[in-house]
Chain A
Amino acid sequence: MGTTDNGNTIDITVDFSGGLEMLFGNQRRHSVSLPAVDSSGKPTNMTFLIDYLCTHLMKDPRVDLFVLDKHIRPGILVLINDADWELEGEETYELQPRDNILFVSTLHGG
């Protein structure tokens, strides 16, 4: 079902809110270009994206505020095109061109 455009890269937008933007240079929206397949030739999925964000986009040394034990920290919601990622296969979701991924923390002050 995936259409990977020219086969090389997938362009998506990634949003951070609920305080997470503080970890990513205080910027809410980021345009991200990812390789269409990972190093083992599998389509790029959420696991790849999360790792990519930690290594390329995060401006803060406190990685554990975003990822804990190799998974998204409990209390952070992930929406894929506005839908709860639990409905989309979570980390196994394969990214599509023009996807919008939102990470929103529920952990900050009410």
Chain B
Amino acid sequence: MARALCANCKAERAVIKRPKNHAKLCKVCFIQVFEDEVHHTITSSKLFYPGEKVAIGASGGKDSTVLASVLKTLNERHGYGLDLVLLSIDEGIKGYRDDSLDTVKRNAVQYNMPLKIVGYDELYGWTMDQVVETIGKKGNCTYCGVFRRQALDRGAKMLGIKHVVTGHNADDVAETVLMNLLRGDLARLSRSTSIVTGDSRSEVKRSKPLKYSYEKEIVLYAHHKKLDYFSTECIYSPEAFRGSARALVKQLERVRPTAILDIVRSGEDVARLVPGEEPSSCACSGQKGAAGLVDDDVGGCGSQNGRTPGGEMAAMDKQLRDNEASEGLEIDVVKTMVEGNAARGEKRDLPIRAGNTSKGAPRQVLGNCKRCGYMSSQEICQACMLLEGLNKNRAKIQI
């Protein structure tokens, strides 16, 4: 069949078909366009300020490796004036991180960036291997996830850095939007679309500059730029529900590649409807109006009941959700809905919006953990709760 020429330079052979608009591009033009779009995301969202010290959460995987490479390129090309540092977490799973940490160490040399590796043992007094020895393999992803959530922030804090960027891409965001949609959790759905998380209460700001980048293009970018990355799966069990959402996203992409960004944009539009949530898309890309969506669409169903009944999965899920909710803001619509649904035994605690003090919500609901100082809606944060359980177990074992 006839070889297509690049739609941009019209000189080179096209090697990419872009999922977002079907544009056929050559390698050089693709790399340029990919970088330009990330630059656009960064500038339109005002992610950075000149001289800012930024830690890149680096796993050695494709997303964070591409993020590091692109940020280095853009920082030099556009004079952001950023002081970039690679920050890696070592969960302490024997063998699991060896190759990926080796990759990050090579990246540090390749990109001429300082690298800081922080271990779970350093942060929590427990490696994941020790956790598994104590509690078994079931449910350990909960621990790993909860610990990981804080690990980057804690590591950044140790380095005196107030901004962590992560490699979350459009597919990840779409997946999270779908998960929260399927759970009927609009507040979290809204939060998950935000490019910046963490607010005045948190000491460390988090952002995801690759939020609009397709995973497919990230992999192709890494391939065509011959970036050095590492692929592995967590050797412990994956979270089943997320896995299903992921498979769904990929299947939708196959049928209609624009679906991924459409889901992201839909999530942003929902966020606009949620009181207290900031619209997070850049002005020029979020033009699709929210018109047509009315209150009826968000209320009036028992969808909170629709979660997988029973089992470890639900429990783990709830734990993670509560933890994430502790960073987050809930909304009046959902609150009303759940209150109206008083018959439900499952009714979960809803953190009150920060600005919502008119209802006499105690300010401390979004305070800090009494043990570690990490932002938490409870007196003791999720990580410290888990640690308490672990430490009791360790004491038992030693007796």
Known: A109-B59, A110-B64, A110-B169. A89 touches B17 (CB 8 A): no
Interface residues of B in 141-178 (CB under 8 A from A): 167-169, 171-172
B211 at the A/B interface (Cβ < 8 Å)?
no
Q: B1–A106 contact, CB under 8 A?
A: no
Sorting the interface of chain B by its residue count into under 10, 10 to 19, 20 to 34 or 35 or more gives 35 or more
Sorting the interface of chain A by its residue count into under 10, 10 to 19, 20 to 34 or 35 or more gives 20 to 34
Q: B1–A88 contact, CB under 8 A?
A: yes
State in angstroms the CA–CA spacing of A105 and B232 once bound together: 11
A97 at the A/B interface (Cβ < 8 Å)?
no
Q: A84–B17 contact, CB under 8 A?
A: yes
State in angstroms the CA–CA spacing of A56 and B16 once bound together: 30
Q: How far is the CB of A38 from chain B (nearest CB, A)?
A: 19
B-contacting 9-mer, from A5-13, A29-37, A43-51, A72-80: A72-80
Q: A109–B231 contact, CB under 8 A?
A: yes
A83 at the A/B interface (Cβ < 8 Å)?
yes
Give the residue among B24, B219, B232, B251 with the most A Cβ atoms within 10 A: B219
Known: A109-B59, A110-B167. A75 touches B250 (CB 8 A): yes
Q: How far is the CB of A42 from chain B (nearest CB, A)?
A: 16
Known: A84-B16, A86-B17. A19 touches B232 (CB 8 A): yes
Q: A18-B219, A87-B14, A87-B17 are in contact. List 7 more A-B contacts (CB 8 A).
A: A19-B231, A75-B250, A82-B27, A83-B13, A83-B16, A108-B232, A109-B232
A17 at the A/B interface (Cβ < 8 Å)?
yes
State in angstroms the CA–CA spacing of A88 and B17 once bound together: 11
Show 6 residue pairs from A and B whose CB-CB distance is below 8 angstroms, ordered by the A residue: A77-B219, A77-B220, A83-B14, A88-B1, A106-B215, A110-B172
| B188 / chain A contacts, CB cutoff of 8 Å | none
| B168 / chain A contacts, CB cutoff of 8 Å | 110
- Among the listed B3, B231, B253, which residue makes an inter-chain contact with A105, where contact means beta carbons less than 8 Å apart? B231
Per-residue interface assignment for chain B, residues 237 to 249, with 1 indicating a CB less than 8 Å from any chain A CB and 0 otherwise: 0000000001100
B372 at the A/B interface (Cβ < 8 Å)?
no
Which residues in B have some Cβ–Cβ distance to A below 8 Å?
A: 1, 3-4, 13-17, 24, 27, 59, 61-64, 167-169, 171-172, 215-216, 218-220, 223-224, 231-234, 246-247, 250-251, 253-254
A53 at the A/B interface (Cβ < 8 Å)?
no
State in angstroms the CA–CA spacing of A73 and B253 once bound together: 12
State in angstroms the CA–CA spacing of A88 and B16 once bound together: 11
A107 at the A/B interface (Cβ < 8 Å)?
yes
Which residues in A have some Cβ–Cβ distance to B below 8 Å?
A: 17-19, 73-75, 77, 79, 82-84, 86-89, 102, 104-110
| A87 / chain B contacts, CB cutoff of 8 Å | 3-4, 14-15, 17, 24
Known: A79-B223, A88-B1. A74 touches B233 (CB 8 A): no
How would you classify the secondary structure of chain A's contact residues: helix, strand, loop or mixed?
Answer: loop
Q: A110–B220 contact, CB under 8 A?
A: no
State in angstroms the CA–CA spacing of A47 and B156 once bound together: 49
By beta carbon, the residue of chain B nearest A76 is B250
Q: A74–B253 contact, CB under 8 A?
A: yes
State in angstroms the CA–CA spacing of A87 and B25 once bound together: 11
Q: B253–A110 contact, CB under 8 A?
A: no
Q: B251–A74 contact, CB under 8 A?
A: yes
For the complex of A and B, list the 7 residue pairs with the smallest distance between their C-beta atoms, beginning with the closest. A110-B63, A74-B250, A19-B231, A75-B250, A83-B15, A108-B231, A110-B61
| B167 / chain A contacts, CB cutoff of 8 Å | 110
| A74 / chain B contacts, CB cutoff of 8 Å | 247, 250-251, 253-254
By beta carbon, the residue of chain B nearest A105 is B231
By beta carbon, the residue of chain A nearest B251 is A74
Q: How far is the CB of A93 from chain B (nearest CB, A)?
A: 8
State in angstroms the CA–CA spacing of A89 and B14 once bound together: 14
